[in-house]
Amino acid sequence: MPNYTLRQLEYLLAVAEYGSVTGAAQSLHVSQSSLSSGISELERAMHLKLLVRHHAKGVTLTDAAERLINQARGLLDDAQHLEQVAHDLGTAPTGAISIGIFSVIAPYFVPELLSQLATEHPEITARVEEVDLTELNEGVLVGRYEVGFGYDFGHSSHVTLEHLLDVPAHVVVAADHRLAKSKSISLKQLAGEKLVLLDLPHSRDYFARALAAAGVELEIAYRSTSAELVRAMVARGVGVALLNLRPARNQSLEGREFEILEIKDSIPPARLVAITLNQSQLTRRAIAVLETARRVWITGS
């Protein structure tokens, strides 16, 4: 067993941050004598000199202390996480949780998710942020989001993905388009059309690959980061579009009609996934959010 304590490591980190025993003691609300005594005990336990004390000029860290700082900080972080895990295991899901979600899927998912969480887990405060896929993956990786929801595009190898749902691509055309009465088409039938592009990282690449595989090149008539605006522009006759998630009604926000056509070509569906950093260290509130999300996406209830 180690002969030092976490409290002593906390003292050392505080001195490193504030550059003096006085500032460190004030930040931790302990006396200077207690903090000095704690660091002296840490030095004896580790058989190292950690601080060089300068009369009336504060202290500096030795080379040994500088090398210990990062590991000490990691050890304290792990201890805090262990305490949180223990708290979560002994209580119902509670507290605030930050959720990242791909902006395109948010309107289909967030209302039902938050409604069910409010009913089943009122002690959880869910904070949702709508972002693109790059921001989503980076946010989970650095811990800004405990849970993320998006497509399986461009993710880091260091995150964990849970497959929730396959979402096939489809073509959107105006209600009076020459192909509007077709239930399904091949992408080659779009030759000569103009494209209204959902212009988001990874999404645009996904659609570009599908068109390229079919040997079809379309002139881009309009770009938007909003799926709703893409459908509205299609309904206006500006061009055709490729999208994944479908609205409940084939009508733009301004009331114009459009048609959704199946695609005969073999196109890999977009895989809707839950994204976490480490499933073995999930809090109870994160587990509750994931369980609720599975019901919303997989069972639709």
Going along the chain from its start, the domains and CATH numbers come out as 6-90 (1.10.10.10), 95-165+272-299 (3.40.190.10), 169-268 (3.40.190.10)
Residue found under tokens 């650095």: 142
| pTM (global) more than 0.85 | no
- The predicted pLDDT at position 94 comes to 83
Which of left, alpha, beta for 47 (phi over 0: left; psi -120 to 50: alpha)? left
pLDDT at 142 (0 to 100): 87
Give the model's pLDDT for residue 301.
44
* Alpha carbons 203 and 197: distance in angstroms, whole number: 9
Average pLDDT, the chain: 90
**CA–CA dist 276, 286 (Å, integer):** 9
**What does the pLDDT look like over 19-42, one tens digit per residue?**
888 899 999 999 999 999 999 999
Q: Which residue has the tokens 């067993």?
A: 1
Find where tokens 């209600």 sit: 175
Per-residue pLDDT at 299? 56
Instruction: Write down the pLDDT at residue 282.
Output: 86
Q: What is the mean pLDDT of each run of 10 residues along the chain (301 residues)?
A: 87 90 91 92 92 79 90 86 64 85 93 94 94 92 93 83 94 97 96 96 92 96 96 98 94 96 95 88 90 81 44
